[in-house]
Structures are given as structure tokens and as C-alpha cells.
Structure 1
């Protein structure tokens, strides 16, 4: 099994035109591997979210290339890029993007609906995904009846349910208190270490640093520093309670 899930070479992205033109990403090389939780850290406007969207095939680079699970994306059309996202990538955002009239399980199952997976088997997959994030008793609960941390866990379950190779998370703890933030990071760390996924967390939250296997700093569209320290790794014991 090839542990490299995303390989980016020479990524540049220019936004705007004329006097408003901004070089958001300025020639970045980056490789993401299974089993690692990588933090991409930088101040607002540093280019970190733009880079995440490029790695997730949601935004095309101005130049450079991105390969996802060995698949070149440079010449892919919209349908091909959508298939790559469906088959290989799970997204988690600061905003939970849950449908208020759907239960937790139904919100998770939406990720399977777009893949054409429906019926009893899809419902079971949704329940298993919620079990992974400690919400097996909340399958029939509406978002308004869940705490912010629980809503984010539903969103993570939705990202997990199609068994992607990589999880891309954009500021997943920014709207949460410390306890819920730690719960979210333990789940993401477990996704890397126990489920053998690649996990990239874009953040400026210093509270998440102890969970990282690798920390990359970005500034003005350039990677300026990288630190790899496996002693930071905080594993969640199997069967441990996740809290609320």
C-alpha cells in the first residue's frame, strides 16, 4: 500500500486581477501520508485555507500539480474532480453544515446519497460512522438538540462514512471550547493513527498542537517551517469515552 495520499508540486494560486491581484499560494511542495495528523498553521491571510481547497480539488491551482492517491488532477474535468472528492476525500469545516430538519444519522447518510448508496446498508454505515465519533445514542437526534461539539462530531462522521483516504479539516475546533476541541482532535488523531488515514488540519489554534505528528507553518503563501515530533502524539485509548 502506498502511504502517500496527496502529493503537491509547485502549487501557485493567484486570486483577483489587476490592482486587486493577490498571490495567495506561491510555489508550495507538500506530501501527505497515511497515519499522520498534520497541522497547517498560519495567521489569517497566510494562504492556508486556499491551499487546503486546492489539495481537496475544490479550487484549481494557477500552476503546479496535485496527485490524489496517485491520480493526477491537473487535466481532470469537473465530473472527474467530483469523483476524486467522493472516493478519496472527507471534508470537515468550522461551520457544521448540518440540515436542521434531518437527524444526525440522516445528515451523515447524505454523503452516501451523493455516491448513489441508499437503503439499509447506507443507514447501517451512517450508524457505524456515528459510533466512531461516540454518538451511537444520538442517531435520531436533530441538530438543534445537539451541543456544538456534538454537531461537529456529526460533521466528522459524515466525512468518515464513505471511508476516504484523507480527511481535510479547516479550523474544526475554532468555534468550540477546550473540552470539545480536545474531543474533536482525539477523533481526528484516531482517524490517522488507528484508521490509517492521512489527516490535515488547517488551524491557528495553539491548543491543537499536542495532537500533531507534523506541524507545517505557512506565511504569505509560502511554507516557512516544518516540525515533525512523534512525541507530541496523543492517542485515544480504544473504547475510551469521548465526552460531550
Structure 2
């Protein structure tokens, strides 16, 4: 059994107050394991992104428990949660979040700067991360000179560079065409299967299903029972991710 990286139990999250109150998560139990590529799927408004942010220690749950790499997050202050994110979690967002005046390598190196890793060694690690996503030759290129798929690969390199235990990706293929989307999913699958990370991708894109080891479905803030007695189901063996 692969090591558990993130374990969520009874997670609830309420957003807003009064008439605008929304129960975004209504009791989620979920584990993410090293070496496993999980898809979290569901319609808009189902709670996918809220759950991703809770698992990534960006949002505190209203109730329930969350453990990241053996560390319970209950009662941990903002600085402590930031440390957990820096030490263990890499984020990939749909909108890339690249600084337009920084080169690809400099954008990747920002993830090391916040860990107080700077200088020549940090620059080398940034270029190595870009090499992992096939962009070493674009290290000195500004984001505005890159395609959408290339910008997303820079964002993935930034998530990889500090060697996190888990990669959390929110709709990473939503703005990409089919070829670029498959390229991104192969990189994320490799992060799970070859580099032994836990990878969770939030998506409503059915094109990415063949890359998954496991699919978790969410609806109205609850994980959906797929008929096996469990809200999670195995989809394909790991090797299938590389036949697409």
C-alpha cells in the first residue's frame, strides 16, 4: 500500500453567511497516496475547487480533520499552514499565474525564493525543472512569447521545482486544445508514476479520464457512491497513461 500523503476525514466547509450561506462541502472523506494519479470530477458548483483549496491548506475547513504528510492541520496558525504548503504542496492553476516581466526560469525560481533558496544553485534547479517539462530551451523566454501550453508547462515546472510530496492541479487543461491538454496530463501522470508524487487533478474534462488511476466524483459537496460501496473507483492501470 502506497504511503498516504493527504488524509481528509469528515471535511465540511461553509462559505458566506446568512441568506448567502452555502454548504460547499458536506462531509468529505478522501486519501491521496504517493504514486497515484487521482481525478476529482463533477459539475460546476459541486465543490471541486473548494475541496482542492482545503486539501492544499489554502482554506481552513469548517469542521473535520486534515492531515498532510503525517501532520494534522487542526489548530495550526496561518504561518504554520504556509510552512506546510511550502514543504509539501505544489499547485497548478488554470490561469498559470506567471509574472509577465520575468523569464520562464525566473518564474519557476520564485517557488524557491519563498523557501529562501537563491543564487546559482536555485537557478540550476529551475532550469532542471523546465527540462522535465520539455522547456529547457525556453528558459530565458518571457511568458508573452510562449503559447498557452508552454505557459502551463512553466506553471507545472514551478510546482515541481521544490520537490513537493503532492501536486494539486485545478482545471489544468481547460484553456488548452487536445494536443496540449494530453501533453500536460502526461507530465502530471509522470509526476505520479515515475517521481512518486501524489497527484490530484480537478477537472470536468472527460478527455483526461484515460490518464487516471482513480476517479473521485463529487456532487453538491459530497463524494458520489459509484455503486461499489466506496466513493472512489479504480479506472486504469498506471501504464495506460502513456498509451494515449
* TM-score interval, normalised by the smaller of the two chains: over 0.9
Check 1:36–1:2 CA distance in 2 against 1; reply closer, same or farther (3 A cut). Answer: closer
Match in the other structure for 2:218: 218
CA distance in 2, matches of 1:234, 1:132: 20
| Residue 11, structure 1, aligned to residue 17, structure 2 | no
Per-residue CA deviations over 1:180-227 (Å, capped at 9, x if unaligned) read 000000000000000000000000000000000000000000000322
Structure 2 unmatched runs, 5+: 227-231
Contact kept in structure 1, 2:149 and 2:176, CA below 8 Å = yes
Match of 1:241 in 2: none
Distance 2:97 2:106 in 1: 13
SS in 2 for 1:230: coil
Cα deviation for residue 18 of structure 1 reads: 1.2
Match of 2:235 in 1: 229
* 1:20 positional shift: 1.2
Q: How many residues align?
A: 237
Q: Are 1:74 and 2:80 counterparts? A: no
Alpha carbons of 1:25 and 1:233: their partners in 2 closer, same or farther (altered >3 Å)? farther
Q: Name the residue aligned to 1:188.
A: 188
Native 8 Å contact 1:210 1:233 kept in 2: no
Could you say which residue in structure 1 is the equivalent of 2:229? none
Alignment of 1:166-181 (within 5 A): 166-181=166-181
In structure 1, what is the Cα distance between the partners aligned to 2:124 and 2:2? 29
Question: Helix, strand or coil for the counterpart of 1:234?
Answer: helix
Q: What's the CA shift string for 1:77-129, capped at 9, x where partnerless?
A: 01100000000000000001000111000000000000000001000100110
Q: What is aligned with 2:61?
A: 61
Query: Unaligned regions of 5+ residues in structure 1, if any?
Result: 238-244
Alpha-carbon deviation of 1:161?
A: 0.3
Q: CA RMSD in A?
A: 1.3
Which residue is 2:162 aligned to? 162
Normalising by the residue count of structure 1, what TM-score does the alignment of the two structures yield?
0.95
Match of 1:141 in 2: 141
Q: What SS does the aligned partner of 1:14 have?
A: strand
